[in-house]
Structures are given as structure tokens and as C-alpha cells.
Amino acid sequence: MTDGDPSAETVVETASDAAEGLIFSRYRKSAVRDLDVTVSFEEGVLEVDVYLDAPDDEQDPETVADDAALAAQRAVDELFE
């Protein structure tokens, strides 16, 4: 990381917002029974873990959780471009 890079707090907030944004673009808030987005950014390493408990009527919650983690990673990549 260089002095011009975003702060760890900014990285974590950006990743978390992106993950939650993707989830709530696919599910109504009232449909999500439980959601946990855990993000850490230490020494330039981003870790994103998404747990989602939502109905699997129309889509697989595990796939949505994976997509949310990927969206978080992409959002952070954009911060560093």
C-alpha cells in the first residue's frame, strides 16, 4: 500500500456495502432471515465472508453469497485503480 491508497476502514466499508448491495438487489430485506458479512483488510489482504439465510425459491442463497463476496472484491479492486 502507498500513501495514496484508501484506508483500511474505507476498504472494509466499501466491500461490506457492495456485498450487502448485491444481496438486497436480489432479495427483499424482509425475505432475508439472517445475514452476516465479515470483512477484514490487513497488510493488503482482503478477506470477505458472507453468510446468507434466505429462501431458495427462486435462487440459491449460497450462490448469492458467493456473488456478494465477489462483488465486494471487485469494489475494492476499483478503489485501488
Domains with residue ranges and CATH for the chain: 8-79 (3.30.300.100)
65 near 50, Cβ under 8 Å? yes
Q: How many angstroms separate the CA atoms of 7 and 1, rounded?
A: 9
Percent of the chain clearing pLDDT 70 (strictly above): 96
- From the number of C-beta atoms within 10 Å of its C-beta (0-12, 13-18, 19+), residue 15 rates as buried
* pLDDT tens string 16-42: 999 999 999 999 999 999 999 999 999
pTM exceeds 0.95, yes or no: no
Q: How many angstroms separate the CA atoms of 23 and 1, rounded?
A: 29
Q: How many angstroms separate the CA atoms of 80 and 8, rounded?
A: 12
